[in-house]
């Protein structure tokens, strides 16, 4: 698969160039301040753009008879050179219209000169320039491979700028900033490469020169220079430099070096003696210099500085991502040939390896010969009795990078003895095609003669340690191998930075009823409804996550009290005013959508918690509809007052409640089936449907949606999921 080629190139290019790239970025940031510091000097004439040469040159030559040259720099400062009345060398910045001296050109800042030399040649002259040139080219390649990776990640060019699923800080911002600064970085890299190529003569610049036929030079009719046509036509803003005639002799002439051509002008008659256009290579070099240095535009210089700073961030975040992946690799104690337990891993970014190595370690420590490898290393394992496949899914149900050849290898290498297998799929419900590749692998195994199914396929959502432990316990029972996968092995985070104080709590009369608990963060906290609150009730590895609603600035949870429920009993036992340490994780895929027209919220039981907060956070007249399911009127009573207030405030447009044990004994699915036309209308108008509650409710609702989407819109639910129009957060 091509993904691996691009990813490996992206990494290989980055590794091979990061030292020089760091240096070039840091010096680049410093250098971007050069144009800014120059442009704030007061030497630019306000009327610069309106002046032509006829207004300026004759006047300057009259005031400074010894003038030999006029130059216009990138800041549009006009500088003249020549000799003054005493015959001394003269160098000054002047007002091109009045000839008034504005100042003397300052010698270039030694500091910037030093940084420039470092930036383009590392103080190593030609050798240094060569390496910097290569670095610029590598940066270009990194940018190109990065673009392709983003396109593949976002599944299509059209979706290039749509939302990115957030995994962790480094990865998320690597992609987010990558998209933003892509264009400036490509420009920096491209112009840098071009300048190096031009410097080393790899881009041929044809020789050009103004040939003058001195026999043709006329000395009449005599014209006053301010009447010269060419002077009146050329404005000062087009000029790079003007060489004044060396003497009064008719054979000495004006040379006008303009931005795109060079013109020579007879100083007596004003006739054009010669005109040459610069070759394209020269114009491109100038353009590259303008774009690479920002010398003509201070705003662009700022953009360049920001882009350079971004490169530094990419180096940092890129290596963080890579090191994380590396850390997940497993060291094998036994060889493939002598191992009884074979663990095959299919992983896009390496995170699945953490789970595989947890199992591997346990097996080895209990004296079993076990072997972990990538799915693409599948071969005949002569001593194998058990095979465990742990795989993620990439993109639209494709195989991850290191499992691309697995299907072929499996067909080609049948195992000589029966082997019991179990497949664990890793994925996230926030992506469409949840664990699709794992299902495919399970089917492939089922077709093999030698393969004996041991467990049903098991899926793990969002790396859930609970779901994984569940599989591990099950597998260890069937395989008769003791296996204790403590959640700590697979959840290294026990970080609890946020202190929360209980400010209110409802009471329950029976177990299995729900209660509302409200907690106030001690410090200002940036969170929103739909985020997850992680608590550690027993102060150990066991983590419990709750979907939060933000009401005012408080965290509100809706929790069902279970008998012996670790999290629920802990929360219910908290006293008013008691403070706990916890952590709020951003859960961006389940935030209230921005700019969606209509939002339909679907919940059962305590799944209503995030919606209570979301509705409360909305301004009035939000087109928001809530479908919720409860056991009976009594269990809904807890939320009734708040929702009635929301209806009255017009924050909620409609409320539909299903009771499963009372009255019509309906489920939320039945209400949705009733309003089928409305739901399809919402989806076709780019509205959003959000689901929160139990997994069985999710399965029911998704099955219904699938059916009606196919019927009315001829599309699958996954189509809307991939466009963030169906959002789910179920447990």
Partner 1 sequence: MSDLIKTVLVFMVLTFARPASSIAQTAGTSKYKCMIQMTNYMGEGAYIVVSLINPKNAYDKTLYVMGQDKKWYNSLKEWHKFQSKKPVNISAITGASVTGGDRSVNVLEIESAKINAGYKLRFESAVEDKNYYVKDLEIPLTTEALSGKSEGTGFIRYVRFSPN
SS3 131: helix
Closest distance to partner 1 from the beta carbon of 241 (Å): 8
Sign of the CA dihedral with 543 first, then 547, 553, and 554 last:
negative
Closest distance to partner 1 from the beta carbon of 83 (Å): 5
- Identity of the residue, 105 or 521, whose beta carbon is nearer to partner 1 in the bound complex: 105
* Residue 224: C-alpha distances to residues 54, 221, 571 (Å): 10, 10, 95
Closest distance to partner 1 from the beta carbon of 12 (Å): 31
Q: How many CA atoms lie within 13 A of 125 on its CB side?
A: 1
Question: What token pair was written down for 265?
Answer: 């002008």
Q: Is 46 in the site for partner 1 (CB under 8 A)?
A: no
Closest CA to 61 of 202, 254, 221, 205: 254
Residues 237, 624: Cα–Cα separation, whole Å: 58
**List 83, 167, 320, 684, residue binding partner 1 (CB under 8 A):** 83
- Identity of the residue, 91 or 695, whose beta carbon is nearer to partner 1 in the bound complex: 91
**List 42, 46, 87, 594, residue binding partner 1 (CB under 8 A):** 87
- Identity of the residue, 126 or 526, whose beta carbon is nearer to partner 1 in the bound complex: 126
In contact, 232 and 53? CB cutoff 8 Å: yes
In contact, 87 and 65? CB cutoff 8 Å: no
The residue with tokens 């705003």 is 299
Closest distance to partner 1 from the beta carbon of 244 (Å): 8
- Identity of the residue, 123 or 213, whose beta carbon is nearer to partner 1 in the bound complex: 123
Q: Is 650 in the site for partner 1 (CB under 8 A)?
A: no
* Residue 668: C-alpha distances to residues 673, 691, 725 (Å): 9, 11, 19
- Identity of the residue, 69 or 585, whose beta carbon is nearer to partner 1 in the bound complex: 69
Contact string 176-215 vs partner 1 (x = CB under 8 A): -------------------------x---x-xxx------
Residue 354's contacts (CB-CB under 8 Å, 6 or more residues apart) are 328, 490
- Identity of the residue, 92 or 189, whose beta carbon is nearer to partner 1 in the bound complex: 92
Q: Is 240 in the site for partner 1 (CB under 8 A)?
A: no
Residues 238, 252: Cα–Cα separation, whole Å: 23
In contact, 262 and 86? CB cutoff 8 Å: no
- Identity of the residue, 108 or 333, whose beta carbon is nearer to partner 1 in the bound complex: 108
Angle at 56 between CA 50 and CA 61, to 5 degrees: 170
Q: Which stretch binds partner 1 (CB under 8 A): 64-72, 379-387, 531-539, 604-612?
A: 64-72
Q: Which stretch binds partner 1 (CB under 8 A): 84-92, 342-350, 359-367, 374-382?
A: 84-92
- Identity of the residue, 113 or 522, whose beta carbon is nearer to partner 1 in the bound complex: 113
Q: Is 224 in the site for partner 1 (CB under 8 A)?
A: no
- Identity of the residue, 201 or 367, whose beta carbon is nearer to partner 1 in the bound complex: 201
- Identity of the residue, 118 or 139, whose beta carbon is nearer to partner 1 in the bound complex: 118
Q: Is 91 in the site for partner 1 (CB under 8 A)?
A: yes
- Identity of the residue, 38 or 243, whose beta carbon is nearer to partner 1 in the bound complex: 243
* Strand-strand pairing, 66-72 and 78-83: antiparallel
Q: Is 360 in the site for partner 1 (CB under 8 A)?
A: no
* Strand-strand pairing, 624-630 and 599-604: parallel
Angle at 296 between CA 260 and CA 186, to 5 degrees: 90
Q: Which stretch binds partner 1 (CB under 8 A): 65-73, 135-143, 170-178, 657-665?
A: 65-73
**List 2, 106, 247, 524, residue binding partner 1 (CB under 8 A):** 247
- Among left, alpha and beta (phi > 0; psi -120 to 50; other), residue 92 is beta
In contact, 160 and 108? CB cutoff 8 Å: no
Closest distance to partner 1 from the beta carbon of 163 (Å): 50
DSSP letter for each residue of 50-72: G-BHHHHHHHHHHH-TEEEEEEE
Closest distance to partner 1 from the beta carbon of 69 (Å): 7
Question: What token pair was written down for 594?
Answer: 């921005």
SS3 42: coil
DSSP state of 73: -
Residues 277, 263: Cα–Cα separation, whole Å: 9
**List 2, 88, 510, 564, residue binding partner 1 (CB under 8 A):** 88
Closest distance to partner 1 from the beta carbon of 238 (Å): 18
Residues 239, 230: Cα–Cα separation, whole Å: 13
Q: Is 68 in the site for partner 1 (CB under 8 A)?
A: yes
Of residues 495 through 554, those in contact with partner 1 by CB under 8 A are none
**List 243, 376, 440, 729, residue binding partner 1 (CB under 8 A):** 243
- Identity of the residue, 37 or 89, whose beta carbon is nearer to partner 1 in the bound complex: 89
* Residue 527: C-alpha distances to residues 505, 552, 598 (Å): 21, 11, 23
Closest distance to partner 1 from the beta carbon of 92 (Å): 13
In contact, 490 and 358? CB cutoff 8 Å: yes
Q: Which stretch binds partner 1 (CB under 8 A): 96-104, 239-247, 380-388, 669-677?
A: 239-247
Closest distance to partner 1 from the beta carbon of 33 (Å): 21
Number of residues located near partner 1, criterion CB under 8 A: 23
Residues 240, 133: Cα–Cα separation, whole Å: 27
Cα 538 to chain centroid distance, Å, stands at: 37
Closest distance to partner 1 from the beta carbon of 154 (Å): 44
Of residues 125 through 144, those in contact with partner 1 by CB under 8 A are 125-126
Q: Which stretch binds partner 1 (CB under 8 A): 25-33, 63-71, 332-340, 689-697?
A: 63-71
- Identity of the residue, 278 or 431, whose beta carbon is nearer to partner 1 in the bound complex: 278
Residues 188, 136: Cα–Cα separation, whole Å: 8
Closest distance to partner 1 from the beta carbon of 46 (Å): 27
- Identity of the residue, 125 or 326, whose beta carbon is nearer to partner 1 in the bound complex: 125
Q: How many CA atoms lie within 13 A of 290 on its CB side?
A: 12
In contact, 79 and 92? CB cutoff 8 Å: yes
**List 246, 338, 661, 663, residue binding partner 1 (CB under 8 A):** 246
In contact, 694 and 605? CB cutoff 8 Å: yes
Alpha helices in 294-382 (DSSP H): 298-327, 352-365
- Identity of the residue, 69 or 649, whose beta carbon is nearer to partner 1 in the bound complex: 69
Closest distance to partner 1 from the beta carbon of 109 (Å): 12
Contact string 102-121 vs partner 1 (x = CB under 8 A): -----xx----x--------
Binding site for partner 1 (CB under 8 A): 66, 68-69, 81-83, 87-89, 91, 107-108, 113, 125-126, 201, 205, 207-209, 243, 246-247
């Amino acid at each position: 698969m091509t993904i691996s080629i691009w990813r490996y190139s992206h990494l290989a290019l980055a590794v091979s160039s990061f030292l020089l790239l760091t240096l070039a970025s840091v010096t680049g940031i410093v250098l971007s301040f050069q144009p800014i510091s120059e442009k704030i000097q007061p030497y630019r004439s306000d009327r610069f753009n309106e002046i032509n040469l006829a207004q300026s040159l004759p006047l300057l030559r009259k005031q400074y008879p010894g003038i030999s040259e006029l130059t216009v720099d990138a800041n549009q400062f006009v500088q003249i050179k020549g000799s003054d009345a005493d015959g001394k060398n003269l160098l000054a910045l002047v007002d091109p219209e009045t000839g008034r001296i504005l100042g003397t050109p300052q010698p270039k800042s030694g500091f910037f000169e030093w940084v420039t030399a470092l930036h383009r040649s590392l103080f190593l002259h030609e050798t240094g320039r060569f390496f910097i040139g290569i670095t610029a080219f590598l940066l270009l390649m990194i940018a190109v491979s990065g673009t392709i990776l983003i396109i593949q990640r976002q599944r299509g060019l059209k979706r290039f700028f749509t939302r990115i699923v957030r995994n962790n800080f480094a990865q998320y911002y690597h992609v987010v900033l990558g998209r933003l600064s892509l264009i400036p970085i490509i420009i920096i890299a491209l112009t840098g490469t071009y300048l190096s190529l031009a410097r080393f003569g790899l881009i041929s610049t044809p020789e050009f020169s103004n040939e003058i036929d001195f026999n043709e030079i006329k000395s009449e009719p005599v014209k006053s220079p301010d009447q010269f046509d060419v002077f009146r036509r050329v404005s000062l803003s087009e000029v790079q430099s003007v060489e004044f005639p060396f003497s009064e002799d008719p054979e000495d002439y004006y040379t006008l070096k303009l931005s795109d051509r060079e013109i020579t002008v007879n100083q007596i008659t004003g006739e054009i003696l010669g005109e040459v256009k610069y070759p394209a290579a020269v114009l491109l070099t100038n353009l590259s210099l303008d774009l690479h240095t920002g010398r003509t535009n201070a705003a662009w210089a700022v953009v360049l500085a920001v882009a350079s700073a971004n490169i530094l961030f990419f180096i940092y975040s890129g290596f963080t991502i890579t090191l994380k992946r590396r850390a997940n690799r497993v060291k094998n104690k036994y060889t493939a040939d002598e191992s009884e337990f074979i663990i095959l891993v299919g992983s896009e970014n390496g995170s699945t390896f953490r789970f595989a190595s947890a199992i591997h370690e346990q097996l080895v420590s209990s004296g079993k010969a076990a072997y972990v490898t990538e799915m693409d290393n599948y071969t005949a394992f002569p001593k194998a009795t058990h095979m465990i496949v742990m795989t993620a899914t990439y993109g639209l149900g494709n195989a991850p990078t290191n499992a691309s050849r697995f299907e072929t290898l499996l067909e080609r290498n049948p195992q000589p003895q029966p082997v019991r297998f179990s497949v664990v799929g890793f994925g996230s419900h926030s992506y469409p095609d949840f664990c699709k590749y794992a299902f495919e692998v399970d089917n492939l195994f089922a077709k093999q003669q030698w393969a004996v199914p041991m467990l049903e396929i098991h899926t793990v959502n969002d790396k859930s340690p609970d779901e994984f432990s569940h599989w591990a316990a099950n597998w260890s029972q069937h395989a008769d191998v003791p296996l204790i996968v403590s959640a700590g092995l697979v959840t290294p985070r026990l970080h609890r930075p946020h202190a929360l104080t209980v400010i209110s709590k409802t009471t329950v009369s029976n177990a299995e009823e729900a209660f509302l608990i409200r907690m106030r963060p001690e410090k200002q906290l940036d969170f929103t409804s739909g985020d997850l609150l992680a608590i550690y009730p027993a102060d150990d590895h066991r983590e419990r996550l709750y979907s939060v609603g933000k009401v005012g600035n408080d965290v509100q949870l809706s929790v069902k009290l279970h008998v012996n429920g670790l999290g629920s009993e802990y929360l219910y036992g908290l006293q008013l005013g008691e403070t706990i340490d916890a952590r709020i994780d951003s859960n961006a895929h389940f935030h209230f959508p921005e700019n969606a027209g209509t939002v339909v919220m679907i919940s059962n039981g305590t799944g209503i918690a995030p919606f209570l907060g979301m509705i409360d956070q909305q301004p009035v007249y939000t087109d928001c509809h809530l479908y919720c399911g409860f056991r009976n009127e009594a269990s809904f009573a807890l939320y009734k007052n708040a929702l009635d207030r929301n209806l009255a405030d017009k924050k909620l447009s409609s409320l539909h409640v299903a009771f499963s044990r009372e009255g019509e004994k309906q489920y939320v699915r039945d209400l949705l089936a009733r309003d089928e036309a409305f739901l399809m209308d919402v989806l076709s108008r780019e509205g959003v449907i959000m689901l929160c509650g139990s997994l069985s409710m999710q399965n029911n609702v998704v099955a219904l949606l699938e059916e009606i989407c196919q019927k009315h819109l001829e599309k699958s639910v996954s189509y809307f999921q991939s466009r963030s129009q169906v959002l789910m957060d179920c447990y």
